[in-house]
Amino acid sequence: MAKKEPKEKAHVHKKTAHDLRMEKEGPKEIGRRIKEMADGLVEEIKANQDPTFITSQRGRGNVSFSEAEGIITLGDKKTHRNFLNVAHARKFMQTMLVTSKANDYLGNNKTAAIREIYYELKHTVGGTDENTFEDQSESDGVIVDLEHSVETIREKLNIHANPKGTLYGDITLIDRMHRNDEFNCLKLGRGGWSIMSRLEPNEIEIKKVNADYVLVIETSAMLERLVEEDYARKNKCILVGTSGQAARGARRLVHRLNAEFKLPVIVFTDGDPYGWYIYSVIKQGSMALAAHSEFLACPDAKYVGMTIEDIKEYGLENVTEKMKEMDVKRAKEMLAYDWFKNPEWQAELKTAISLGKRIEQQALANKSLEFVATEYLPKKIKKKQFLP
C-alpha cells in the first residue's frame, strides 16, 4: 500500500490585538469621532471662544525609540491651531475642508486617493485671489493632522494613496472590497500583485501563505531579477518589492505577514545610507508615522545586504560608487539616531563614511546575472549573515 504524502502545512492567520481593535473602528465609529471633534469647535464658537483644532506634534522633537518594543513611538506633545490666529487661519480653513470631505466619504461609502481629494478641494476663495490649496503637499499634511487628531489612519478615513510596491510568491489573497476575488500571487505573471494602500484584514484577507520567510527588496530591477530566476519558488519565500522607500501599504502588508503568520522578515537594499534607512523604516517605523509603528513596523526584521563588507567579500571593488555629499550627511545623521546605536550599525555607517563608498544591489551582476539568486542571497540567509 502506497504511503500517503503528508499534507503541506499552510501558515495559519492569527488575529492580533490591532486586528481586533481596527475591526471595531468602522466608518460609523470614525464618523462619530469626527463629529465629536467638530461639535467641540462649534461649542467654542457659540461660547465666543477662539475655535482650536488640536493634533499631535510630529517630528523628531516628539518621537522616541522604545527599546522594549523595538519601534519608534510618538510622544504626547500637541499642536494647537487657532482660527483667529493669522498665522494659523489658512491651515485651519484647510483642515476643516479636509475634515468635511472625509466625513462625506464615510457617510457615502466612497473612497478617494490623496491626489483626488486635493483636486476636489482646490479652488479660489470667493472675492479673493487666494486658493484653498497651492500644492498637494498642503492637503497631504492636513490629512495626516486629521488622522492624528481623531486617532485613526488615513485609510479608515476612506482616503488612500496610489498603489506602490509589488507582491510575488505563493500567497493567496481575497479582495473583500472587490467581488471577493481570490487569487494566488504566484500565478499573476512576472508582474505579481500591485500592493494596495488599503490592506486591513476586512479589506484584503490573507487566506494562505506557503513560505518560510519574507524578502523585502528595495529596487524594482532586483525584484524583476529574482522573479526571472524563480527565486521565490526555489527558496520558498514571499517577495515584496518596495520600489524605493516603502509606502504604507507595503509596510502594512509586511507587518501582517510577520505578525499574523509569524514569517521572518529579511530586507535587501542598496548598500548606502538611503537603502539602510529604508530597512530601518521596515524594522522600527518612521518618524513621520511614529503614531502607527505598532502596525507598520517589524522589530525582529533582519538586514541581509548590501553591506560595505560585501565589496571585499565578493570582489566588487571595481563596481562601487562614490558617496555623494548628501550620502555622507545622511550617514552622519543616522549615527545619532537611537535605533542605529547598536555596535554593528555604528561600525557599518562609520566604515561607509571613512571609505566614501556605496554599493548598489545591481553590482552583483558583475559576477553573473544569476549570482544574486543562486549564491549571494541563499548562502547569506542560510548562514544568517545579517545585520540586526
Question: Over pLDDT 90: what percentage of the chain?
Answer: 85
Look at residue 13 and tell me whether its pLDDT is greater than 90: no
Q: Which residue, of 160, 182, 197, is where some domain finishes?
A: 160
Specify whether 190 is located in the same domain as 130.
no
Spatial separation of the C-alpha atoms in residues 164 and 249, rounded to whole Å: 7
Please give the tally of structural domains in the chain: 2
Specify whether 129 is located in the same domain as 206.
no
Specify whether 278 is located in the same domain as 355.
yes
Look up the CATH number of the domain holding residue 293.
Answer: 3.40.1360.10
* Residues forming a β-bridge with 209: 11, 171
User: With contact defined as beta carbons under 8 Å apart, do 74 and 56 qualify?
Assistant: yes
Look at residue 170 and tell me whether its pLDDT is greater than 80: yes
Look up the CATH number of the domain holding residue 73.
Answer: 1.10.10.10
Respond yes or no: is residue 279 known to be catalytic. no
Specify whether 142 is located in the same domain as 199.
no
Specify whether 127 is located in the same domain as 236.
no
Q: Which residue, of 120, 142, 160, is where some domain finishes?
A: 160
**Residue/partner pairs of 370-377 with CB below 8 Å, 24 or more apart:** 370/229, 372/222, 372/225, 372/226, 372/229, 373/225, 373/226, 373/229, 373/230, 373/231, 373/234, 374/229, 376/305, 376/314, 377/215, 377/226, 377/231, 377/235, 377/268, 377/304
Look at residue 275 and tell me whether its pLDDT is greater than 60: yes
- pLDDT tens string 76-106: 999 999 999 999 999 999 999 999 999 999 9
Q: What per-residue confidence (pLDDT) applies to 4?
A: 43
Specify whether 242 is located in the same domain as 156.
no
User: With contact defined as beta carbons under 8 Å apart, do 194 and 232 qualify?
Assistant: no
Mean pLDDT of 345-359: 97
- Looking at 118, 119, 303, 314, which residue is catalytic? 119
Residue 14 belongs to a domain: no
Q: Domain limits at 140?
A: 25-160
Q: What per-residue confidence (pLDDT) applies to 21?
A: 59
* Residues forming a β-bridge with 241: 166, 217
CA angle centred on 112, ends 195 and 157, rounded to 5° = 90
Spatial separation of the C-alpha atoms in residues 241 and 166, rounded to whole Å: 5
Look at residue 1 and tell me whether its pLDDT is greater than 50: no
Q: Which residue, of 138, 160, 182, is where some domain finishes?
A: 160
Mean pLDDT of 62-69: 94
